Structure 1
Amino acid sequence: MTATPVPPLRTPAEYTPDRIAEIRVSSVRVPLPHAISDAKVYTGRQKPLTEVAVLLVEIRSSDGCAGMGFGYSLRSGGPAQYAHACELAPALIDEDAADISRLWEKLVWLNASAGSSGLGIQTIAAFDTALWDLKARRAGLPLAKLIGAHQDSVPCYNTSGGYLNAPIEQVIEAAERSLAAGIGGIKLKVGHPDRRVDLQRVAAVRDRFGPDLPLMVDANQQWDRPRAQRMCQALEEFDLTWIEEPLPAHDVAGHATLANSVRTPIATGEMAGSSADLEKLIDHGAAGVLQPDAPRIGGVTPFLDVLAQARRARLQLAPHFVMELHLPLAATFPGQVWVEHIEWLEPLFEERIRIADGRMHLSAAPGLGLTLSEQARALTSDTRLIARPR
């Protein structure tokens, strides 16, 4: 049999840059079905959460291809992110949309006086994600396949049913609904000022669902070192999958000491504002389960760097929130990985993630596989179009 000849490669001279022609920046406010409270509310440090402020970026290139990215903020920062995005967007007009890493660096340098983490980097994340979505759509590939997937589905757990303000009966009912819907694990919020409340709630869920349920708890940074040590030791009997943020997020040494003194894995990283912050956690052995948040650290580009570091350290991975973005990214990780099920952003999109047998399943659609809904447009409070001069 004669082999089919391989067609010749295109030479660099044939490449035509696909220039960014226009960018739409929108501020969207997504209300929650009801106010929720975690330990930060019970300690008086924050108010109940009632909505998510979403920064939406849509990028269209000269060949008509489009990509969408988004970031978010909780309780404060939404208007500032939107204003900063409008400030940065003109710098991308006429750039080659394929040069994602270079464009990320360009935006970071434009943002330099605002700092290397925080609001500015979170704003850049929406542009970076939109460029990755555009690149995958142009290639006709799901984002996970463009990067290189290790699996087509990822274990998932639910958080939104386990908040502290919900009576334990409601928490158990929500867990039953989640498990019936195919979700594989349950996370409870802890950190109540009365430690007995925490232990009673965890015991009630473990008793109801038995020893085989993957069960996690999250203290939302509300314990000091002595209390964290006592609570982590007291929680050992429940065979938890992990204990999340037992200490303030930037107490790297404290997390490392705790991780080395208890059997249950310690999870942290969601509050990291850059890949460098996460690298510090890795280097100090402060997390058995790393929890990067792509919108908080600058988007897909730095997230992939974090994945490489976590792989080398042989850590488990459990990205924070934004399952619509973290599912395809988590599927590219070769180690143990979980995706957090929080349905708050579902009103923005026409599609729903398929969940079955304890796992979230990747979409076969190109890019992120997401289409903005009419409700997303209705929830938009401000929008601006930045385009080439005509």
Structure 2
Amino acid sequence: MTLTTDRIATVSVSFVRLPLPEPISDAKVLTGRQRPLVEVALVFARIVTEAGLTGLGFGYAKRAGGPGPYAHAREIAPELIGEDPSDTGRLWRKLVWAGASMGRSGLAVQAVAAFDIALWDLKARRAGLPLAKLLGAHRSAVPCYDTSGGFLSMPVEQVLENADTAPARGIGGIKIKVGQPDAAADLRRVETVRGHLGDGVPMMVDANQQWGRATARRIGRTLERFQLAWIEEPLDAYDAEGHAALAASLDTPVATGEMLTGAEEHTRLIETGAADFVQPDAPRVGGITPFLRVMALADHKGLSLAPHFAMEVHLHLAAAYPGTAWVEHFDWLEPLFQERLELRDGRMRVPDRPGLGISLSDRAMAWTVDRCEVSAG
């Protein structure tokens, strides 16, 4: 048997600015640390081989920073030309080292993420399998919860209305934002939503890193009576020791990790016992290749998984996780893609389409503000 190796012929990178229907605020806005979110900046990578196989991947930035990963991605894209797209691990390291003077975390690896996700998408498409199946799926559908309907910029009446429509859409849980300067306002909001939902609906709260250790302990104890699925980001994202102490003191599970930008940062989080639910974000940690390292360590420690945002990618990864897993439903990115993910009975179903099962919409093309392409020769 002759082994035929296909090679990467063309790599295109595009920068997209996705406007949101209305400004969005969480606790970071109410505490004065950030401005309301009005758009999501995305970097898309499309890889085409000599045989005509394609792969699509993306990364993103919220608020400031979007042009940075795009500029970095443009510079390192030529490193992929002529390479075997099957060598995902080797190519991830090659791309990281190509820009290592910028570091091996943060912006530098977020630029690599779009390429790495595209390579995994291509690999699964070539196999004719959904990415979850290629990785070794443990389930065909993953419990999902809604976040986009629970922001602090929405009055509580609107949050209740959004929560009422979620089950009809096939969504199983509801997450609301907390972390306001007035802790009593947070408590009233949680009490109102929990009372409206009843005890049977999984409910989470997210403080977006706005509490100190003492405040988190005090509020965490107060929230115990609401039987929350978890308390998310109660402390600064890099306070692993504080999260570990809080997790040990509460019955309610603690979830964190979404802001970390590398597998190494997650290693410290996991090894210190800082989370019951680990929340890696594939575009932020550098793609699927490092995300799989985080998954393996989390599984080794017997932790649960709840990836942050980017459900189009994370559905496949959560489906391939051996332990308990949730996927976060955000409708923000849906206008960018032609396909829709199926929700049924509180779960998000893995599509039967090869790869990630997504393709760009005409609207994504209209929101593209810059694009470059490199090819052999």
Calculate the TM-score normalised by the size of structure 1: 0.96
Q: Which residue of 2 aligns with 1:278?
A: 266
**Residue 87 (structure 1) aligned with residue 75 (structure 2):** yes
Counterpart residue type for residue 266 of structure 1: V
Structure 1 CA distance, aligned partners of 2:290 and 2:106?
14
Q: Which residue of 1 aligns with 2:326?
A: 338
Helix, strand or coil at the partner of 2:298: helix
Q: Which runs of structure 2 are paired with 1:18-37 in the superposition (5 Å)? A: 18-37=6-25
Q: Which residue of 2 aligns with 1:3?
A: none
Counterpart residue type for residue 49 of structure 1: L
Q: Which residue of 2 aligns with 1:301?
A: 289
Q: Which runs of structure 2 are paired with 1:235-384 in the superposition (5 Å)? A: 235-384=223-372
Post-superposition CA distance 1:175-219 (Å, at most 9, x none): 111122110000010001111110001001111111111000000
Offset, 1:163 = 0.4
Post-superposition CA distance 1:225-252 (Å, at most 9, x none): 1111111011111010000000000001
Please, which of 170, 180, 189 is the counterpart of residue 182 of structure 1?
Answer: 170
Counterpart residue type for residue 359 of structure 2: T
Q: Which residue of 2 aligns with 1:105?
A: 93
Q: Which residue of 2 aligns with 1:149?
A: 137
Structure 1 CA distance, aligned partners of 2:337 and 2:243?
37
Post-superposition CA distance 1:35-75 (Å, at most 9, x none): 11000000000000011000000000000000000000011
Offset, 1:282 = 0.8
Counterpart residue type for residue 106 of structure 2: G
Counterpart residue type for residue 236 of structure 1: E
Counterpart residue type for residue 172 of structure 1: L
Offset, 1:165 = 1.3
Q: Which residue of 2 aligns with 1:226?
A: 214
Helix, strand or coil at the partner of 1:260: helix
Helix, strand or coil at the partner of 2:105: coil
Helix, strand or coil at the partner of 1:249: coil
Q: Which runs of structure 2 are paired with 1:195-214 in the superposition (5 Å)? A: 195-214=183-202
Post-superposition CA distance 1:241-275 (Å, at most 9, x none): 00000000000110000000010000000011111
Helix, strand or coil at the partner of 2:333: helix
Helix, strand or coil at the partner of 2:317: helix
Post-superposition CA distance 1:131-185 (Å, at most 9, x none): 0001111111111111110000000000000001111000000111112211000
Gaps of 5+ in 2: none
Structure 2 CA distance, aligned partners of 1:140 and 1:189?
40
Helix, strand or coil at the partner of 2:249: coil
Larger radius of gyration: 1
Counterpart residue type for residue 39 of structure 2: E
Counterpart residue type for residue 381 of structure 1: V
Q: Which runs of structure 2 are paired with 1:168-179 in the superposition (5 Å)? A: 168-179=156-167
Q: How many residues align?
A: 377
Please, which of 147, 152, 165 is the counterpart of residue 164 of structure 1?
Answer: 152
Structure 2 CA distance, aligned partners of 1:97 and 1:171?
45
Q: Which residue of 2 aligns with 1:40?
A: 28
Structure 1 CA distance, aligned partners of 2:198 and 2:166?
16
Counterpart residue type for residue 302 of structure 2: R
Structure 1 CA distance, aligned partners of 2:4 and 2:93?
22
Structure 2 CA distance, aligned partners of 1:241 and 1:166?
22
Gaps of 5+ in 1: 1-9
- Structure 1 runs of 4+ aligned residues shifted over 4 Å read none
Counterpart residue type for residue 63 of structure 2: R
Offset, 1:16 = 2.1
Q: Which residue of 2 aligns with 1:192?
A: 180
Q: Which residue of 2 aligns with 1:7?
A: none
What fraction of aligned residue pairs are identical, expressed as a percent?
58
Q: Which residue of 1 aligns with 2:57?
A: 69
Structure 2 CA distance, aligned partners of 1:136 and 1:294?
17
